[in-house]
Amino acid sequence: MDARLVSICIGAVTLAATGFYYGVKFCQKGNYLIGVEWFALAVSSTNFMVYELTHWHVAYLGVLFLDTFSRAFGLPIVTVAGLTVLTHSFRPTIRVDVMLFVGTAVATLVLLMENFAPVLAYFLLAMWTLFTLFLFYFAYRLLVLREHYHALGVSIAAISNQAIAYMYDFYKIPGDETNVILNFYTIALFTWAYLTVQIYYSYCALGRATEGNLKRNLQS
């Protein structure tokens, strides 16, 4: 195993660990939308590592589906819906959660049909850009409630992940095939892992700040 592959595997393990850990944390908070999406990222990362180590075709198919699902719908739609629990007082039922996941899973299968191949990369970038815009809105909500540290953290996550979304299909890092650390997969995996961690703590911070602000208004 060469140093580049070791670097990629460390990134994959990091994303898998944060995805599973914070996925459980979100589910404990009753936010199954983000929790299950974090599980999807963790499983996708695990499959990617298995594929890199074994070139097992089944693992590749798992990565292809889950990666497309997360980039097209899992983060831009499912995660955004989960965040609106705080930003817009959205209260989805378990039935709504299931329907949303089933619907986006079916839509992902449709996207992977050969007919969509010429436009798939552009569609994925457009959807991720919408997700980035919502993250900036989420950061603004944190800023209004004086959660400056978390607002900055979400903004950094938004910018760095938007860069990864663009690089994914439209820009190749010079020397990517041989770079040990500065290769796309290592950078992307750590960037996504940072996103899973930052969103969780910012979600908690916004929840606490919103509750505190509501109590102060009631007391006044």
Phi and psi dihedrals of 199, rounded to 5?
-65, -40
Rounded CA-CA distance 24/2 in Å is: 33
pLDDT reported for residue 121: 96
Question: How does the average pLDDT of the chain come out, rounded?
Answer: 94
Total tally of structural domains belonging to the chain: 1
**What CATH number does residue 53 fall under?**
1.20.1070
pLDDT at residue 210, as a whole number: 84
Distances (CA, A) of 160 to 33, 96, 167: 23, 31, 11
* Number of residues that this document lists for the chain: 220
Domain range for 98 is: 3-219
Q: CA-CA distance, 5 to 186, in Å (whole number)?
A: 9
Q: What is the pLDDT of residues 46-67, one digit of tens each?
A: 999 999 999 999 999 999 999 9
Rounded average pLDDT over 151-168? 97
Say yes or no to pLDDT of 1 above 80. no
Phi, psi of 147, rounded to the nearest 5 degrees: -95, 70
Mean pLDDT, range 187-210, rounded to an integer: 96
Give φ, ψ of 74 to 5 degrees.
-60, -45
Reply yes or no on whether the pLDDT at 214 is more than 90. Answer: no
